[in-house]
Amino acid sequence: MHTLSLFFYSAQAVFTIVLMSAGGIILARLKLIDSNSLQTISRIIFHLLMPCMLFASFAQTMDFGKLKELWILPVTAFIYIVGGLALGAAAAKILKVKPESKGMVTASSGFANAMYLPIPLVAAICLIFPEFSGNPELKAVGMAYVSMFIIIFSPMMWTLGFNILGEKPHSSIKFSDIITPPVCGIVLGFAVANFPFAKNAFCGDGGFLHPVFTACVSLGNAVVPCAMIVLGGSFAFSPLAKHADKRSVVAVILVKLIVLPLLAILYIKALIFFNLIPHGAVQDKLLVIVMLIQAAVPPATTLIVISSLQKKNIEEMGSLLQWSYLTSLATLTLFIVFGMRIFS
């Protein structure tokens, strides 16, 4: 595929996400939703829609054999987090970021939006790119790839990230912050996938629990549009430049959106060279694209939730996230192009 075609399809995928999030902005501007509405939608996604989607995805695709192939994904998630934190701390020091903002820059560089942005982006890529669109099962496979990152990101964000961002003790962290409903969906789906009787009951067309599986698939399909409404609405209610700290914004953009994905390309190349990940089949190409996307996405929106709990740098974090997401429209498109070209 020519580079111009790759750019066209990549831009289409990213622009699809922009248009979906624009729906949230429009609803906010028309005063059809407010901050309380967004919090309610977020809770519905977190406690119902996301667990259903992850359960269905894992139950259908993720048995022990597949997990054995994909052990590298949670390991990669850990490497991305630790590498991003180290690079963020170094950038904060080099750019002489204000002492009170160093933790914010470090955490934003290490903890990416591993769930809400990669899921709709991978879904759009599977629908738009010709080499993926011919296989309808690839979307579920892609969701399983993304989910493997969530297993590591969620616990580490609420422990290590919580500590980096604020001054409250870890006694403030609840068990439910680590063993979240999405993680429960993953565990239950994995259990179903590895017991033939349970898998036939849920996933088989004639299974007596197939209506449960179908309901989970239908509810899971609502994750992408609802998440984009929340993302767009959040931007509509937050001022863009009022609380921006330029050095912090530059540090995070350089590390999280440019340096880390460039290093990820070298890392993925090394994994392929040493045969640590499968390569050759179309799902294998999707695998490396998901790995690259996880390195290239902007910081996690959950960080502003943690900042709110800590009552520290709330406005600054909101502004930093907005500038990061705006910049990522260009950087994500370019890195998807690079990934599709380099790993072809």
Q: Which is higher by pLDDT, 128 or 42?
A: 128
Selection from 298, 239, 272, 265 nearest residue 118 by Cα: 298
Q: Positive or negative, the Cα torsion across 26, 327, 117, 281?
A: positive
Rounded distance, CA 196 to CA 181, Å? 24
Tens of pLDDT, residue by residue over 184-210, are 888 899 899 999 999 999 998 888 999
Q: Residue 161, Cα to own-chain centre: how many angstroms?
A: 16
Rounded distance, CA 301 to CA 279, Å? 32
Q: Residue written as tokens 């519905």?
A: 44
**Percent of the chain with pLDDT strictly greater than 70:** 92
How far are the Cα atoms of 272, 290, 308 from residue 326, in angstroms, in the given order?
32, 20, 22
Residue type, 194: N
- Helix/strand/coil for 194: coil
Largest CA distance in the chain: 63
* Residue 79: its H or E element: helix 72-94
| Confidence at 96, pLDDT banded by 50, 70, 90 | very high
Rounded distance, CA 14 to CA 263, Å? 22
Selection from 17, 25, 188 nearest residue 119 by Cα: 17
Angle at 222 between CA 60 and CA 112, to 5 degrees: 80
Contact of 126 with 145, CB cutoff 8 Å? no
Q: Tell me what pLDDT residue 53 has.
A: 85
Tens of pLDDT, residue by residue over 140-180, are 888 888 888 887 887 788 778 888 887 555 555 666 666 77
Domain ranges of the chain: 3-342
Architecture of domain 3-342: Up-down Bundle (1.20)
Exposed e or buried b for every residue in 274-300, given b needs 16+ CB within 10 A?
eeebeeeeebebbbbbbbbbbbbbbbb
- Evaluate if residue 342 carries a pLDDT over 80: yes
Q: Tell me what pLDDT residue 133 has.
A: 85
- Evaluate if residue 335 carries a pLDDT over 90: yes
Selection from 144, 147, 160, 142 nearest residue 285 by Cα: 142
Q: Residue written as tokens 């993680």?
A: 183
Selection from 119, 112, 111, 110 nearest residue 145 by Cα: 119
Which pair of tokens denotes residue 261? 């994905």
Residue count of the chain, please give it.
344
Tens of pLDDT, residue by residue over 268-326, are 999 999 998 888 788 899 999 999 999 999 998 778 767 766 677 767 787 888 888 88
Taking all residues of the chain, what is their mean pLDDT, rounded to a whole number?
A: 85
Rounded distance, CA 328 to CA 146, Å? 18
Which pair of tokens denotes residue 341? 């070209």
